[in-house]
C-alpha cells in the first residue's frame, strides 16, 4: 500500500482493533510507522478503518477476521503471528463484559470469555515469544482492567480472567529479564469507548460510579500504555484516579475490600439473594 522506504520494517498485531482501545492502538502505531495486522469480528467496520489508516499513514494494514472465542480461529491467528517475521509488538486487546451474576449467565458466555481473555492471548504470546527472544527485542501489551484487582459481582468471570492476564504479564516480565522483550498488563478503568454500549448500557449507567470526568479516552489510555512500555513497567494503570483506587485496594485487608464491594454492588445483587432472577 505504500512506496515509502522504511528500514527496518516493523509490524504490530492488534486484536479487537475494530473500535475503542484497539482502534486507538492501531491509529497511534500506524502514525509511529508500524505496519499493522488488525483483527476483529465486524468485518465491514474493520476493513473501512484499516483503509483509512493505510491511506492516512502510508503503512501496510492487513485485516484478519477472527472470532477469538473459537479455538480454531485462535490457532489460525497464532500461525499468522509465527509467520510474521517483522512482528515487533503484539497487543492482546480483544475482550467483552457481561452483566449477570455468575449463576444467571449461560455457561457458554463464561467459556467464551475464558477463551477470548485468557486462552487466545496465551496462544498468541507463546507463538510470538520465540522469534522476539531470538531477535533480542519485541513487546507484548495485554489489555487487562482495573477489575483485575477487585472481585466484581455481576461480572465474576471478567475480573477473574483479567486477574489471570495481569498475573501472567507480570510473571512473563520477570521471566524475560535480559532478553530485550518487554511485557505489560495495561489496566484501564472506565474508558470512553463502545464497550458499555455493547452491554446495553446508557452513558449515564456506564459512568455512574466513576463519573465522566474521571474516565479517559481510548487515546489517553494508549498514550499512557506506550509511555509505560518505554520505561519497561509491567503494569500500567492509566489515570491518577484509577491508579490511586488500585493502590488503595491492594493495600487494604481483603475483608475491607469485600465490605466496600458489597456496599457498592449489594443493592444490585439483592434480587438474586431473594431468589428473584435479575434481568437486564
Point out the residues that are catalytic: 158
DSSP letter string, 204-219? HHHTTTT-GGG-EEHH
Query: Which grid coordinates belong to 57?
Result: 499513514
C-alpha to C-alpha distance for 232 and 205, rounded to whole angstroms: 35
Residues forming beta bridges with residue 91, ordered by sequence position? 14, 141
Please count the other Cβ atoms lying within 10 Å of the Cβ belonging to residue 200. Answer: 9
Contact criterion met (CB below 8 Å) for 141 and 225: yes
> Rounded to an integer, what distance in angstroms lies between the CA atom of residue 143 and that of residue 162?
8
Residue 109: CA count within 13 A, CB half-sphere: 16
How many Å apart are CA 52 and CA 138, to the nearest integer? Answer: 26
Place of cell 472506565: 190
Find, among 26, 131, 144, 57, the residue nearest to 88 by Cα.
131
What is the distance between the alpha carbons of residues 165 and 168, in angstroms, rounded to a whole number? 5
Q: Is the peptide bond before 8 cis (omega within 30 degrees of 0)?
A: yes
DSSP H or E run through 65: strand 61-65
198 - beta bridge partners? none
Amino acid at each position: 500500500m505504500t512506496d515509502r522506504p522504511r528500514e527496518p520494517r516493523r509490524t504490530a498485531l492488534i486484536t479487537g482493533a475494530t473500535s475503542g482501545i484497539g482502534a486507538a492502538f492501531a491509529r497511534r502505531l500506524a502514525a509511529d510507522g508500524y505496519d499493522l495486522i488488525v483483527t476483529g469480528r465486524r468485518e465491514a467496520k474493520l476493513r473501512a478503518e484499516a483503509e483509512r489508516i493505510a491511506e492516512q499513514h502510508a503503512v501496510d494494514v492487513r485485516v484478519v477476521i477472527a472470532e477469538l472465542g473459537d479455538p480454531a480461529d485462535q490457532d489460525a491467528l497464532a500461525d499468522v503471528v509465527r509467520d510474521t517475521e517483522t512482528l515487533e509488538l503484539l497487543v492482546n486487546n480483544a475482550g467483552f463484559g457481561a452483566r449477570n451474576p455468575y449463576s444467571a449467565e449461560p455457561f457458554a458466555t463464561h467459556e467464551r470469555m475464558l477463551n477470548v481473555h485468557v486462552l487466545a492471548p496465551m496462544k498468541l504470546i507463546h507463538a510470538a515469544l520465540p522469534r522476539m527472544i531470538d531477535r533480542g527485542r519485541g513487546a507484548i501489551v495485554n489489555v487487562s482492567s482495573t477489575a483485575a484487582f477487585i472481585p466484581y459481582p455481576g461480572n465474576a468471570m471478567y475480573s477473574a480472567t483479567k486477574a489471570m492476564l495481569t498475573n501472567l504479564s507480570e510473571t512473563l516480565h520477570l521471566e524475560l529479564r535480559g532478553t530485550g522483550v518487554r511485557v505489560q498488563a495495561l489496566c484501564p478503568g472506565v474508558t470512553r469507548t463502545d464497550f458499555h454500549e455493547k452491554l446495553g448500557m446508557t452513558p449515564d449507567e456506564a459512568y455512574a460510579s466513576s463519573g465522566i470526568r474521571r474516565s479517559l479516552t481510548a487515546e489517553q489510555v494508549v498514550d499512557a500504555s506506550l509511555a509505560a512500555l518505554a520505561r519497561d513497567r509491567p503494569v500500567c494503570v492509566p489515570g491518577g484516579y484509577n491508579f490511586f483506587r488500585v493502590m488503595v485496594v491492594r493495600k487494604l485487608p481483603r475483608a475491607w475490600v469485600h465490605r466496600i464491594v458489597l456496599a457498592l454492588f449489594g443493592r444490585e445483587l439483592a434480587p438474586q439473594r431473594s431468589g428473584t432472577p435479575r434481568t437486564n
